Amino acid sequence: MQIALPVWFEISSLVILVVILAADLVLAYRRPHIPSTRESAAWVSIYVGLALVFAVLMLVVGSVDHAAQFIAGWVTEYSLSIDNLFVFVIIMARFSVPRKYQQEVLMVGIIIALVLRGIFILVGVQLIENLSWIFYIFGAFLIYTAVRQAFENHEDMDKTESGVIRFLRKHIAISAHFDGSKLRTVVGGKKIFTPILVVFIAIGTTDLIFAVDSIPAIFGITTDPFIVFTANIFALMGLRQLFFLLGDLIDKLVYLHYGIAFILAFIGAKLVSHALHTNELSFINGGKGVEWAPEIGTWTSLALIVTSMAVATAASLLKIRRDKRRAVLLAAEN
């Protein structure tokens, strides 16, 4: 059985992470600007570095298993968070959010995502402790999500939010234009909401969908609530800067969603296999564990997750290069 991490380490880590997030939020609101590629790359590198330092601390304070579970969970959640960016790009474009104020919008979206994931983690831990068969449900759900991820595009998900948006526009007075990053503005002497409210609702709805997907996924790596939550925090830290770093490139990573679909399907299969291995349902194998069901280790999971994302990203970049060459040749012929 895995030894628990010291309570002092868990509390101090959470306090420091909350302070970093709060400082990032304040900085985004005090300095609304379009970050350069160099600035965004520097911040993303810092946050990735912090995650790796945290993994080393978990190795020192805890064990190799703690560090491995954190890295595997963080990489998984980071992959799913990048997928979240695809939808954020669609939302920003759809509502014509001024690029100067996209930092604040993204930061609010990240805070909403953290709160929702925190709630889902607490609920998930209770379900796991009290319902041994819940892994069957989690596994089946992730496999279903993987199929949707592979065969549906992100525009389809955005369309599902239109009903909420239409309801808001029908029942709440909303101005036609943004007023900086203000939530409310004055039009004709009357205070009404700006379109930023609609953007927040759209992003919040998206975060809810991704929270439902991502929490079962990381429970396939570890059931330790501290590791689950910190992996989610580190995955979301720097997401705002990553949005500006990738820029238009994110739309061109056409094979990335296949890599993410593979990760979800793999973890879903792993959860089902674990549920079979520790089975207590009377109608399956007489309530006994299925011995042939494999228990997939953390290091195997980490290797497959990293490989799938690397292959999907490399394939996308090769396609971008091939398309550019084709465009140059066509231009030369004409």
Rounded Cα gap, residues 149 and 287, in angstroms: 33
Residues pairing with 185 in the sheet: 192
Residue with tokens 């990760």: 263
Rounded Cα gap, residues 209 and 111, in angstroms: 15
Residues 109, 115, 119: CA angle, nearest 5 degrees: 140
CB within 8 A of 295, min separation 6: which ones? 273, 274, 277
| Contact present, 135 and 142 (Cβ < 8 Å) | no
pLDDT of residue 1: 54
| Contact present, 253 and 37 (Cβ < 8 Å) | no
pLDDT of residue 255: 86
Rounded Cα gap, residues 53 and 23, in angstroms: 19
pLDDT of residue 251: 66
Phi and psi based region of residue 2 (left: phi greater than 0; alpha: psi -120 to 50; beta: remaining) = beta
Rounded Cα gap, residues 151 and 212, in angstroms: 19
**Exposure of 186 by Cβ count < 10 A (0-12 exposed, 13-18 middle, 19+ buried)?**
exposed
Of 125, 109, 307, 80, whose CA–CA distance to 206 is shortest? Answer: 109
DSSP per residue, 124-164: HHHHHHH-TTHHHHHHHHHHHHHHHHHHS-HHHHHHHTHHH
The domain ranges of the chain are 7-150+213-333
pLDDT of residue 51: 93
List the pLDDT tens digit at each of the 334 positions of the chain. Answer: 567 888 999 999 999 998 888 887 777 777 767 777 788 888 889 999 999 999 999 999 989 999 999 999 998 888 888 777 777 777 777 777 887 777 777 877 788 888 888 888 888 888 888 887 888 888 888 898 888 888 876 555 555 445 666 776 677 777 777 777 677 887 777 888 888 888 888 887 777 777 777 888 888 888 888 999 999 889 888 787 888 777 666 667 788 888 888 988 988 898 888 888 777 787 787 878 777 777 888 888 888 888 998 898 899 889 888 888 888 888 777 6
